[in-house]
Homo-oligomer: A and B are copies of this chain.
Amino acid sequence: MLKNNPIPTFEGPVCPRPLNHTEQIVMGHGSGGKMTQDLIRRIFQPHLQSEPLLAGNDFASLSLLAEAGLQGTLSVSTDSHIVTPLFFPGGDIGSLAVCGTVNDVSMSGAVPLFLTASFILEEGLPVETLEKVVASMEAAAREANVQFVAGDTKVAEKGKVDGVYITTTGIGWTPAGVEIGGEKARPGDVVLVSGTMGDHGIAVLGARGELGFETGVQSDIAPLNGMIRELLKAAPGVHVLRDPTRGGLATTLNEIAAQSKVGIWLDEESVPVLPGVQAACEMLGFDPLYVANEGKLIVIVPEDQAEAALQAMRQHPYGKNAAQIGRVQAEAPGRVLLKTLIGGTRILDVLAGEMLPRIC
């Protein structure tokens, strides 16, 4: 019941701990990491379970039409966006709300078609601000070639909500024969990323004035469905697509390793990171592999199509820094291992709590 989630990341059956009656929600429950998974397993899964949720992808594949003889499935995804500040270098909550959901739907290989948007507004929000956000949604939806088909607006008292929260739900269509999912990585596959890691998280943090210096880093927010279309033409055998958002590359690869029951081995030096992101992370004690992206793609593909996949991404404006960063192996199933710059190997675990709250 959650992004990046109902995943068998932990051994053994789902066995909810009894509730501790003094326990409270903390920011880390929204991190997309271990605490989020714990909340899902204990609170959401026992009540709101279904086969598509158990599959553990960021999208649900709905084959409601099989009985009608139609070949293909619906792909559905939803996301609430509570980023603060509303505007930051490279994007805003509007472009984030559209691109985040378009991208999640696209990770099934689906063509995103429709969006719903539901707004919770803060009393006192300048209408001009709202219009800027909505205009940004329009531009992103136009680029992604998706249509808004339903919406809702609520208003909460001043002080609740930081200006505006937006929840988007996306609906796409996956033609028959496309089989892409986090459980399909196989030993021997190659791991690619479409560009530099951590740009979005650092751009938002910079916009909050929390860094104390200028990074010049822009968020990478972008709708990825166009690049995915080109990618799948060049490399139709792709096994896994996923966007490393909350929790970053490390957390997302852990989810895939767990779903596919494989080990994922990364070369640290091959992971592209902008100098500004690297510098900010060093100042703050962050690891860029855990910092969120909003316009990047992880691709896991059989070796014989890896080069074609890489070239297809590099020819697209959103993939010009695409790189091969690792391999899938049978050893260490469920684990992500990093060959470090100094020649060692360390386990890259799931993000535990919250590193950067309110970035999406």
Contacts and interface: CB of A to CB of B under 8 A. Distances in A.
Interface of A: 1-3, 19-30, 36, 39-40, 42-44, 47-50, 52-53, 59-60, 62, 64-65, 68-72, 74, 76-82, 113-114, 116-128, 130-131, 134-135, 137-138, 141, 147-157, 159-162, 165, 167, 169, 171, 173, 354, 357-358, 360
A125 B22 CA distance: 10
B39 A153 contact: yes
Contact of A80 (B59, B119, B171): B119
A48 B151 contact: yes
Given A154-B360, A169-B169, 13 more contacts: A1-B134, A1-B151, A23-B126, A39-B127, A47-B134, A48-B138, A50-B148, A70-B70, A77-B150, A118-B169, A152-B167, A159-B159, A165-B165
9 contacts: A29-B121, A30-B154, A30-B156, A39-B127, A44-B134, A60-B116, A78-B117, A80-B152, A156-B162
Contact of A78 (B128, B152, B155): B152
Oligomer: number of copies = 2
Given A30-B155, A148-B1, A159-B159, A128 B21 contact: yes
Contacts of A156: 30, 82, 162, 358
A24 B153 contact: no
B118 A79 contact: yes
A194 to B, nearest CB: 23
Given A23-B128, A122-B25, A167-B80, A151 B44 contact: yes
